[in-house]
Amino acid sequence: MASIPLPTPANPLRIGTRASPLARAQADMAAAALVRAHGLDPAALEIVPMTATGDRIQDRALADVGGKALWTRELDAALDAGTIDIAVHSLKDVETLREARFFLGAMLERADPRDRLVVRDGIVATTIEALPTGARLGTSSPRRAAQVKRLRRDIETLLLRGNVQTRLARLAAGEVDATLLAAAGLDRLGMDDIGTVQEAAALLPRGIAGCDRDRMPQRRCCDPRPARGGRSSADAPRGRGRTRLSFGARRRLPLAGRGLCAFYGRWSAAARCRALFRGWGGACG
């Protein structure tokens, strides 16, 4: 590690992220974790926001226009061009299989994976079952829509795209009667007072596999040999036991990964990233 120079204000580590408020908040958390781990000057870390294709397309389901790659395409291109050094993603927004030239180096500690039900003014309900007959529930998630229909066939599920603030604004405008938002995202935005948590027994969140600490088998962080033909987004993460186990579950179950925030980079930069992520305290073990 001593042979790898750490970032400085003159030669900062450029951290790519989507430009949405939640993505920026998660990138700031990642930068703060690196500052704590290495005693870095905060000016040695530069946040580089960019708008993803998925942020631009608001009127169609992601499955109809390209899937999860719409969240990673611009950041991948920036990694390839060398305009950023690493990228920070929510794991739920990352394809299960990633191209072999990228590796996943570390994860922040996992947050609450459950959903929260948020209703418009005039409706009193804390669960899906308590929504009024024929309520309109906005979501862009097939998982959420399918489970809502299983619980209440009378509820109309409508496409509701956009970042957290956009969806809350459309809810307030009366476009829908209710929506489901990730508890992790609301907490990271300081909106922990919004909505009611839906217990996993009623509404299955992403990656509900058991998370007993320290049961995840140890894996190498930055194996310099990329996997042939592509690499699972769950290969070679660094993180504490509970988070690593959730991540391992994601490799086997594409629905996993809610509440996880991860760092991606190119294999050509693996040595520098290994130095940054080894023993960084916040989420690397």
pLDDT tens by residue, 34-59: 999 889 999 999 999 999 887 787 77
Q: Which of the two residues, 40 and 222, has the higher pLDDT score? A: 40
Which range is most confident: 64-68, 210-214, 281-285? 64-68
- CA-to-CA distance for 160 and 56, rounded, in angstroms? 14
**120 CB-near residues (< 8 Å, 6+ apart):** 171, 172, 174, 176, 177, 178
| Separation CA 115–CA 126 (nearest Å) | 12
Model pTM greater than 0.75? Answer: no
Residues known to be catalytic: 93
Tell me the C-alpha to C-alpha distance, in Å, between residue 11 and each of 5, 7, 167, 201: 10, 6, 38, 49
Structural domains of the chain sorted by starting position, each given as residue range(s) with its CATH number in brackets: 13-109+215-277 (3.40.190.10), 115-198 (3.40.190.10)
User: Strand pairing of 136-139 and 156-159?
Assistant: parallel
For the chain, how big is the Rg over CA atoms in Å? 19
pLDDT of residue 198: 96
Strand partners, 178: 119, 137
Would the pLDDT of 25 be above 60? yes
**pLDDT per residue over 127-166, tens digit each?**
999 999 999 999 988 889 999 999 999 999 999 988 899 9
Report the pLDDT averaged over residues 116-128. 97
* Mean pLDDT of all residues in 78-104: 85
Mean pLDDT estimate for the chain: 77
